[in-house]
Each structure stands twice: as C-alpha cells, then as structure tokens.
Structure 1
Amino acid sequence: MKMAARIIEQLHHPSLSQALTALTATSHLHQAHAHLIVSGLASHPFTVTRLLACAALSPSASDLPHAKTIFLHTHNPSPFMFNTIIMASSRTLDSVTFYVCMLHAGHFPDNFTFPFLIKSSSASPTSLLGHQLHAHVVKFGLDRDVFVVNNMIALYSSFRELRSARKVFDESYSLVDVVSWTTLITGFSNSGQIDEARKIFDLMPLKNTVSWNAMISGYAGSSRINEARKLFDEMPDRDAASWSAMVSGYSQLGMCNEALDLFMEMVTGDKMIPNEAALVSAVSACAQLRALEEGRWLHSYIKEKKLRINVTLGTVLLDMYGKCGSILDAAGVFNLMSERNVNSWNSMIAGLALNGCGKEALALFWKMQFVGPSPNAITFIALLTGCSHSGLITEGRWLFSMMTQVYGIKPQLKHYGCMVDLLGRAGLVKEALDFVEKMPMKPHSELWGALVGACRIHGQVELGEELGKRLIDLEPHHGGRYALLCNIFAAAQRWDDVAMVRDLEKGRKVLKNPGNSIVET
C-alpha cells in the first residue's frame, strides 16, 4: 500500500512528462488503480486523468486495454481525456469511435485531436474516412495548424491521392514547413512519380538531411541509382540514413561491390555507425556475391561495435553464411538468436539443404514443428531442394504430401520443379513426367528442360528425344535447348541426329548464350 500511495503522489507531479514516469511496470499501474478505488479517490478528476494518461502513454507501464477500461468507467470525461485515449488508440480505428463519443459529449476537438485521428484513418481500406475527417478539420477551423496539415498531406499520399495532397499543400503554402515539403516529396516518389518529386525538391526554400534522404531513397527505389548517387555526393551533411539509402539501393539492384565499397567508406572514412538497414543490405550484398571473408568481417564488426542483432539482421547473417557454404557459422548464428521467425527457420533449413545436409534439414524441420512457427510455402521449397540434393526420395514424396494435406499449402511451380528434379536425379523419369502431366497449371520450359537433362543422365534416349523436340518447339530460339538434345544423341552415338539438330539450330540462326562464372578470389 505504501508503494501505491507513493505512486499516487508522483502522479500529481506538476509536469505531465514527469508523472508519466511514475509507473515502471504494468503491475504498478494495477496497484495504483486498486489503491484509488479503495481510498475513494477513483472519482477525483485530476487523479483519474493522470492515471489514464499513464495507462495510455507511459513508456514503461502502458496498458491500452486497461486505459480503455478506466476511460469507459469515467463519468463525463474531459476533452483532455478524450484526446489521451484517441492518441493511444491511433494505430487502430478505435480512435474514430472515441472521437464520435467526444462529439456526442458536447466537446469540441482541437489541434491535438486531429493529427492522431488522421493517422488512424490510414488504417481504413479507403480514403473515405480521411475525406470526412478533412471536412471536420475545416469545419472546426483547424486547417491552419501545420501539424494537422502535414498529417493530411501524409494521409492523402498514403492512398496515392496526390492531387488532394498537393491541393492541401498549396492551400496552406503560407504556413508549410520542411516536414510538409518532405512529406509531399515522399508521397510522389513512393507513387513512382520521381520526376515530379524532384521538381518539388528543387523548389524547397530550405532543405534538411531528411529531405535529401527522401529524394535519394526515391531515386534508388526507382532504379535510378546514378541520380541517387549524384544527389548523395552533393549533400552538405549526411547521417546514417543517407548512407543506408545508397547502400540499400546498390544492394537491391544487384550492384553488390558498389554497396560494399560504400559501406566500407561509411564506417572507415566518415566513421559513421551504420543503422540496421545498412547492415542488412551490406550482409545481403555479401550473400549475393558469395563473399565469405567480407561477410565474416561484417559479422565481427557488428560484434565489436556491440550492435544489436535482432531477428532481421540475424536472419540475413545466417542466410549469408549458408549461401557462402559455411554452414557451421550459420548454425552458430541461428543457435544464438534470442528470437526467430519463419524466415530465420527457412534460411537455416535452406542453408543445410544447399550444402548437402538434407537429413539435418529434415531434423531441423521436425524441431520447427514443435518449437517454431508454422512452416510456409518457402519452407517446403527448401526442404524439397534438400531432399533432391541428398537423394531422399521417400522423404521428398512424404513432404509434398504433408505440405498439401497437413498444412493446406497449395503447391507452386517451384514445388513441382523440386519434385521433378528429385525424381529425375534418381532416374525415375517416367514418374517425374507423370507428375508434370498431372500438374494443375501449365508447366514452364525449365521443368521440361530438367526432364530432358534427366533422360540424358540416365540414358533414356527415346523419351529424351520426344521431350527434347517438344522443348525446342516451345523455345525455338533458345540455344541451350538444342544443346540438350545434341547431348542425348551424342551419348547414344547417333551422330547423324546430332548433325541434324545443329543444322536446324544454324538454319534458325539461334544465338548461343555465352557462359560466365563468378568466383571469389
């Protein structure tokens, strides 16, 4: 009781921000509330208002369901209490319900009410609610408040109603600030109208780092990486987000060497501590390049700087190690992860599968069923790939059946491709062909190519000839299809047929694709 009384005393601190730190755990909130009821203070307006604020907004003891209970049991809530519960509920449309109650209670909204209502309305499936709130903003004369204006611009931009967003901006031109400009730029760039975004950017009377970052991210997201880099080089000041936008842009476009070079410049030249997005993009670039040494250096850097490895960064690290063939390092990361999601499990299973550890991948899958999240379609692609590489035919058949019958996952072309590859590698070409012909969707050329390749490996010349000709009919200008059929005839020493296929290829003027190889040195 002494603790509860002390908490009540802190709730009455003249500063609201100080009062919000009175509670350090939700249990303290419940104790304080119980003490108020027992002591008869539950009806004291100021005390209940502060308790509601703590339940709704406390950084360490917030409990939104409890806050709603306090609010609903309060007789004649004040406008401040309405604003508090609207603010706390702004991630859902519940805030709109409280707003309607506020109007019915005879209270008028103010400039603290609408920013959170507008934010909440972005969760609506259409912009109709946003338009209705905009009408209320005008009705109550709050369309001259810059915070309300900025939220309206963001709302219309989120629904790709850029004409409305621009109209709000233009009608409020005398009061817009750098946030208004940046929000409008982001809206246009996110909608793919990057040139219009650039026009707005060039008109800005005052730019800050966030404005530059928005434009750079827009260019990078539109695959116009050279223009993004030009702006990046022109920036007067950069922060971690600036570097991250460029590193991520390079990585997502497959320009992985550029991504890693820029990341190294960031951490060595500018000595900037990278944010999570930059780290994830840099590690992803290592995975794409199969650059194991650079990946290990990045992992060491993360540990040296004591940067937090959350589920996203942990997953991309173990994915990188798996793709680089260092399955022990991948397992080390996986085992140390305090939190794992389905992507983490999938990455670890895929790493085992790609490195010839099919049985270990299956063992991890059994563990996933007991202690992990439910598997998804990608889980079974990784598992079936592992079975194919390890020759686990019975297990592969069983997994395909489990996927559809136990987990209700509809097979995709990749699942069928894995099964065809599994059966073809094992020499069960006719079963694989039967599998393809029973598919509910039209098989793609890669499936037929896998079957033809299996026929060549296992000496099934007649079936290979039939499927090879069918494949050439599907893709008459793909040089690799002619090569497959030539190899089948050559293995059977049918040299006349080899010459016939080559003449056919030459007559159709089929260009041969040059080979290439990426090897880390």
Structure 2
Amino acid sequence: MSKLLHPSIFKKLNLAVRYLSQQFHRHSNFGGKKNPPLELLKLRLIHSLLIVSGLSHHSSFLTRLLLHCVSLPSFPCTYAVSIVDRVRDADVFTYNALIRGFSFDPQNAIFVYIRMRQEGVLPNKHTFPLLLKSKSKVPFQIFAQAIKFGFGSDHFVRNSMVSALSNCGLIESARQVFDEMTRKDVVAYTALMDGYVRNARAFEALELFLEMRVLGFAWTRLLLSVLCVLLECWAAFGLGGGYMGSLLSREELSETFMLAVLLLTCIPRVCKRFKDVLLLFQEMLVEKVEPNEATLASVLTACAQLGALDQGRWVDKYIGTRILELNSVLGTALIDMYAKCGCINKAFCVFERIHVKDVYPWTALIFGLAINGDAMGSLNLFSQMVSGGVQPNEVTFTAVLSACSHGGLVNEGQQLFSWMGSVYGIQPTVDHYGCMVDLLGRAGRLQEAAKLIEDMPIEPSAGIWGALFGACMIHKDYELGRIVGNHLIRLQPYHSGRYALLANLYSKCRNWEAAANMRKKMNEVGVEKTRGCSWIESNGVLHEFGAFDKSQVASETVYGILDNLTAHIQQLPFLLDASLLEF
C-alpha cells in the first residue's frame, strides 16, 4: 500500500503529466521538432516519479504518459507496452492510446484489441476507427466487431470503413458501406472519391463530385479534395477541366491560396507536370506567398524528377534561412533531390543535418545509394537503421530490394524478402514482388522469376510482367519473351511500348513477318507510339527535348556527335551485342 501523497506533490505530478499531454497534441499536429531521446528521457523521469510516488498503477496518469509515448517519431513499442502492463485497471482510453501507437503495425494493433477484450474492457466508438486506420487487412472482421458492440451505424466508424476498404482495393464494398450511411459528410465523400481515384475509376469519382455539388456542400471545406479528384480525372481522361476552372474563378476563393493548394499536393502527385510546379513556385514567390513545408517538399520533388540541381540548391538555401532545425519531411525531400541529381555526398550532409531521423530520411538515403550504384552501401545503411531502433516500412524494403536488384545481390535480396513477413510483419506488395522478379531476371534465373509470378497471392501488375519481358530480352529467351509479350498486350492493349517491344523481339528472332504484323496491329488498334521526352538543366534554365526533336538550336550538332559516338561504340571489341544500341 502506497503512502498518502502531500497535496503539493500530487499537484506537481499532475502538472508534469499535463505538460506531457500538451506535448502530445503539439507533436500530433505539427510533427514534433524536439529531439526524441530528450523527450523520451523526460517521459521516463516522470514515469519514475510516478512509480516512487505509488501512482504507477493510476490509469489516468499512465494514459497521458502513453499518449506522449506514441507521439514520438520513433515509437518505443516495448516501453509503451510496459506502461500498460503496470496499469492495474486499464480502461478503454489506455488501450485506445496503445492502438494509436501501433497505427503502422496492424497485426499488433489487433493483438492489443484482443488483449483488451480478454481483460473484459469494452471498446468505445473511437476504438474501431483507430483499428481501421492501422491499414489492417481484415476490415470486415473489425467492422463486424463494431456492429456487435453497437457502433456499426456510427458515422466515424463508417467513414473509417469506407477509407479502409478503398485502401484494400475493395471499392465496391466501400461503395456499399457509403450507400448505407444515413448521414454522409465531407469526410465520407472525400474517402470514397479518393478510393475511386486510387482504383483508377475517375468517372465514378467525377460523378460523386457532381453529386456533392448538387447537395450544396461548402466549397471551401471541399476545396482540397475536390481539386485533387478533378486533377486526377483531368490527368487520366481529360475530364473535369471545366469544373476545375469554375472552382478557380469563384470570387470567395483566394487565387494565391488556390495556387498554393494546387502546388501543395495535386500537380506533382497526379499530373507529373513537374516543370509546371517550378513555374508555379516562381509565381508564388513573385506574389509574395510564403511557401509552407509541404509546398517546399513538392518543389524539391519536382527538382529531383527534372534533375534541376541549381533550383534544388536554391530551395535548400531558402530552407536554411527560414528553418532552424531541419525536420524529417524537408530533409527527406532534400536527400531525394540531391541523390537523384547525382550528389550523394550532399545527400549524406543533409542526412546529418536532420534533427529527428525517423524511417523516411533513412529510406531516402538507402534509395539514393541504390540509384547511384552503391548496393552494398544501401544494405549497410539498412543494417545501421535497424540496429539504431528505427523500424523499416514498406518503402524501405522497396529501396533495399531495388538495391539488391541493381547490384546483382540475389541471396541478400531473397533473405530480405523473407524477413519482410517473418521478422517485420510487413505484407509484400506488388512493388516488392516487382523488385524480386527484376532481381531474378537480371541474374538470368527466368524460370524462378516466372514461378514467383505464378505463386503471387495478389494479381501481378503489368510492370511485373514487363520486368520479366525485359529479362527475357537481355538473356535471349525469346520463346518465354513471346508468351510474356503477348500477355502484356492483352493486359494493356493501348500501350504503344508493348507492341514496339514485341515487334523488336520478333525482329531479333528474324521473324520479319510477325514483326510487321505487330506494327500493323498497332495501327489497326489506333495506338501511336508516345514520343520519349527528357529535360536537362543548363545555367539554371530547364530545356525540354524529345526523341527526334530538331527544334533546339544545337540539334544538328548534338545528333552529329551522337552518330559518331554510336559508330565508335559499335567498333569496340568488348561490345558483345551491337543490337543493344538499336532504338
């Protein structure tokens, strides 16, 4: 039995825990810029004070400790669970806080819920949205539990269910849940619209937008979601441009605010019009609109895609003059930009400047080493990250598997792929299978790659089949390549590149008739080969050029040099297959 505390000590403890509660809200809203070891040290000190004061079993105090714990950038899972273990009568708020902490780990989130029920604690209406937001692969079972405890009609639960089903690709089920809702708010419409877009169903997304317009939802509340969906429709099918224009012209919406919103998320993510992003950013600066963190990250993404190193450096300096501590978001964008522009040493310098190193800057640097040809460096960095207590995510594994693929590290790649589920509880996605097919294909293990595709628990994408086709071409397995190539055309009948590659395969087999028929079929279907396009930065100016483009001032000189280089390379003794130079 603990001794009775003096009221003044109790008051100080209450103030200390209230401080942590305020820190939690600040971290949740703004991402947190404090050093996590320092924050964790403060948390442990207050926890120790609670223990020696005999309050270590007090659920109210420990729930606030737990909320602060789960808000730290590197969530200390074991320590958080140990806090719950000390609570004598943990209530639903305590368990909800722990489920929130496992938002990145759906399996453990479910285990926490099971433990809660075994302890006889009843869930509340916030429990099920937290479980659904953990990206669990069992949304129907979670929803069944919500119905069992009387929360099936709660609109927060329903909104989360729509979002969860959309994320799992179960868009028809998401629509059914949406249609059964008696109260549909902005969040519900946004979740379903985003689901349609994610599943490449822009027409349905646009229809939903029109329905929202008829129902008279406030434009300002819908602004971001509506613009994103309209841009998705515009990018995919050329739909929605007129509605987007009417939105932009409405008097109550600030033009500069609209510009910032477009730049913030839509154009780089949806339309891939990165050059327009830089032009819009320049216009923002002229209009004296102060860019926020997300805008700067979008601009850096555009610089990375365009190879615009000078402009990326300018943004880096701009950030340095306005932000004292480089956070994870901007640091990750800077690392990505420098790495894709070939400045891997600068990427390392940025990494060292980041105050809080969570999984994102680590992953960006692992990717950076991979694309710059240092596969072993990527794996070593991955080991450093894990040994430092940072949990890898899906994108991290895409990065290291890509590094293994480019470095020919087959055994290492297979080991990492097996660790995803067995060690880290991460379900492989299409991207991970694509990396493995590419890894095996580059190594010439084509039958293993084909077997992996056959055994995939999810539908293989065209990109995966394309990786196998490319490997068939490299290793001259033209029979398997022919089968894969025809399957690709059935999957993507309007993709010009699929016809061209299969025609090239027939040409290499000297099957001229089949090659001619393939090009004839391409014309019959009405597919035109998309012209290749690229950019180069010179003296801070971006120049765009395409295949066979002769509009540039020095085009004749460039093509002359290219012809000379091609002729010279074809005469080199180490070139085994001059046909690789055909394009």
CA drift of 1:130 comes to 13
CA drift of 1:343 comes to 2.3
Taking the aligned partners of 2:481 and 2:14, their CA distance within structure 1 comes to: 73
Deviation track 1:143-186 (CA, whole Å, cap 9, x = no partner) reads xxxxxxxxx999998898998769xxxxxxxxxxxxxxxxx767
Maintained 8 Å contact 1:342/1:373: yes
User: 1:164-183 residue pairs with structure 2 within 5 A?
Assistant: none
Taking the aligned partners of 1:307 and 1:222, their CA distance within structure 2 comes to: 35
Pairs aligned (count): 400
2:279 is aligned to 261
1:102 is aligned to none
Which of 412, 415, 423 does residue 440 from structure 2 map onto?
423
Taking the aligned partners of 2:54 and 2:298, their CA distance within structure 1 comes to: 44
User: 1:469-508 residue pairs with structure 2 within 5 A?
Assistant: 469-473=483-487, 475-476=489-490, 477=493, 479-492=496-509, 494=510, 497-503=511-517, 505-506=519-520
Which of 53, 56, 59 does residue 18 from structure 2 map onto?
56
CA drift of 1:512 comes to 4.2
Maintained 8 Å contact 2:450/2:468: yes
Q: Which amino acid aligns with 2:298?
A: S
- CA change 1:501–1:373 in 2 (3 A) is same
2:387 is aligned to 370
Maintained 8 Å contact 1:321/1:327: yes
Maintained 8 Å contact 1:198/1:215: no
- CA change 1:408–1:519 in 2 (3 A) is same
Q: Which moved more, 1:256-265 or 1:240-249?
A: 240-249
CA drift of 1:361 comes to 0.8
3-state SS in 2 of match to 1:356: coil
RMSD value, Cα: 5.0
The higher relative CO (CA closer than 8 Å, separation ≥ 6) is in 2
- For structure 1, the residue ranges without an aligned partner over 5 or more in a row are 1-33, 74-83, 98-119, 133-151, 167-183, 203-210
Maintained 8 Å contact 2:473/2:481: no
Maintained 8 Å contact 1:121/1:130: no
2:288 counterpart of 1:277:
no
1:223 is aligned to 230
Percent identical residues: 32
CA drift of 1:314 comes to 1.5
Deviation track 1:466-499 (CA, whole Å, cap 9, x = no partner) reads 441353155254554444344344335x2xx222
Maintained 8 Å contact 1:290/1:323: yes
2:28 is aligned to none
- CA change 1:415–1:195 in 2 (3 A) is closer
User: 1:163-312 residue pairs with structure 2 within 5 A?
Assistant: 192=193, 194=209, 213-223=220-230, 227=243, 231=247, 234=250, 244-247=260-263, 248-254=265-271, 255-269=273-287, 271-306=288-323, 308-312=325-329
User: 1:279-358 residue pairs with structure 2 within 5 A?
Assistant: 279-306=296-323, 308-358=325-375
User: 1:378-457 residue pairs with structure 2 within 5 A?
Assistant: 378-441=395-458, 443-457=460-474
**Higher-Rg member (1/2):** 1
TM-score by length of 2: 0.54
Q: Which amino acid aligns with 2:286?
A: T
Maintained 8 Å contact 2:404/2:439: yes
CA drift of 1:333 comes to 1.4
Taking the aligned partners of 1:423 and 1:191, their CA distance within structure 2 comes to: 38
Maintained 8 Å contact 1:216/1:232: no
TM-score by length of 1: 0.60
Maintained 8 Å contact 1:480/1:512: no
2:535 is aligned to 519
3-state SS in 2 of match to 1:223: helix
Q: Which amino acid aligns with 1:414?
A: D
- CA change 1:513–1:332 in 2 (3 A) is same
- CA change 1:299–1:191 in 2 (3 A) is same
3-state SS in 2 of match to 1:518: strand
2:482 is aligned to 468
Taking the aligned partners of 2:319 and 2:445, their CA distance within structure 1 comes to: 48
3-state SS in 1 of match to 2:533: coil
Taking the aligned partners of 1:412 and 1:162, their CA distance within structure 2 comes to: 31
Maintained 8 Å contact 2:503/2:514: no
Taking the aligned partners of 1:287 and 1:442, their CA distance within structure 2 comes to: 31
Q: Which amino acid aligns with 1:264?
A: Q
3-state SS in 2 of match to 1:519: strand
- CA change 1:53–1:448 in 2 (3 A) is closer
Maintained 8 Å contact 2:370/2:378: yes
